[in-house]
Amino acid sequence: MSLKAKLGKKFVITTELGPTEGTDVRTTLRKVREYIKLDGINIHDCPMARLRINSVALAHLVQQETGIETVPHFTCRDRSLLGTQADLLGAHALGIRHLLPTTGDPPNHGPYQSKPVYDLNTMGLIKLIKKLNQGVDILDKPFEGATDFLISATASPVATNMDAVYARVQSKIEAGADYFQTQPVYDAEKAITFMEGMRKFGKPVILGIMPLKSLKQAEYMKEHVDGIEIPDEVIAKLKEGVTGAELACQLISQIHQHIDGIHIMALGDIKASNIIIEHTLKLVGK
């Protein structure tokens, strides 16, 4: 069953691909095959403005070689309006059917003295993809062979102003978003409350799960990373020696009946990911 057919109907498990250095796709493909079971893999588009292989090209290779569907990220940072449309048509021709439109980290985050483009913002890019799905370009000029993309969008389960979060979700849906993948969450109660708020939109939600690698990482994220809240209870358990993967499994046990799936953000840690995947499969009976 395809990812499209499963969304909102069966529990979905996705993850993110670790970085591919240069053109070494063989190592990447080997790692992909080490996952126990996945419904989809997200592929970043030069995160932090650092050089990585083109996300659409790699997504195509992963699908072709492993049969696992991909969700390439597609940024506004590097593409003109013409280039954006050409690349989207090319992605569709290569068999890509899921996209995650993003703004893209500014070039000054990385090592290159390049200029950002940003002819579109994320909302504009979502609207453009919806137009292409209707068989017209950004000027409403028809072309042969409409695209058939499912558009993923992001949302934050925790924020100071959740009304603003839900308003942003509504705007993304009006622009054309089909389903949501969230930032990581560590608090079961807040995750369930967020999901209750999302139900009114009628769109599938895949909740972000990021297994913490260390106490140091947890403390840094708690203090310095906006949009992520790590409860004191989680910090205390890490101090007791509970692993990040174990904590993730405990959280999923509490919330799996309230969500449409999980998106594992383990920074390429296949061992931790497989622990979480195996635990989740037992919970949902897959």
Query: DSSP state, 149?
Result: P
Domain containing 102 — which CATH number?
3.20.20.220
Burial class (CB in 10 A: 0-12, 13-18, 19+), 285: exposed
Tens digits of residue pLDDT in 83-111: 999 999 999 999 999 999 999 999 999 99
* The pLDDT of residue 267: 87
d(CA 157, CA 207): 8
Domain extent at residue 188: 3-284
C-alpha distances (whole Å) from 76 to each of 59, 73, 121, 122, 125 are 18, 10, 6, 7, 7
* The pLDDT of residue 285: 85
Is 70 exceeded by the pLDDT of residue 73?
Answer: yes
d(CA 24, CA 31): 12
Q: Around Cβ 6, how many Cβ atoms within 10 Å?
A: 18
Helices (H) and strands (E) in the chain, counts: 11, 8
Tens digits of residue pLDDT in 153-175: 999 999 999 999 999 999 999 99
C-alpha distances (whole Å) from 172 to each of 68, 70, 101 are 27, 21, 11
Domain count, the chain: 1
Is 80 exceeded by the pLDDT of residue 200?
Answer: yes
Q: Give the orientation angle of helix 244-255 with respect to helix 232-239, to 10 degrees.
A: 140
Tens digits of residue pLDDT in 217-272: 999 999 999 889 999 999 999 999 999 999 999 999 999 999 999 999 998 899 99
d(CA 89, CA 18): 26
Q: Name residues whose C-beta falls within 8 Å of residue 247's C-beta, 6 or more positions apart in sequence.
A: 186, 211, 212, 234, 237, 238
* The pLDDT of residue 46: 94
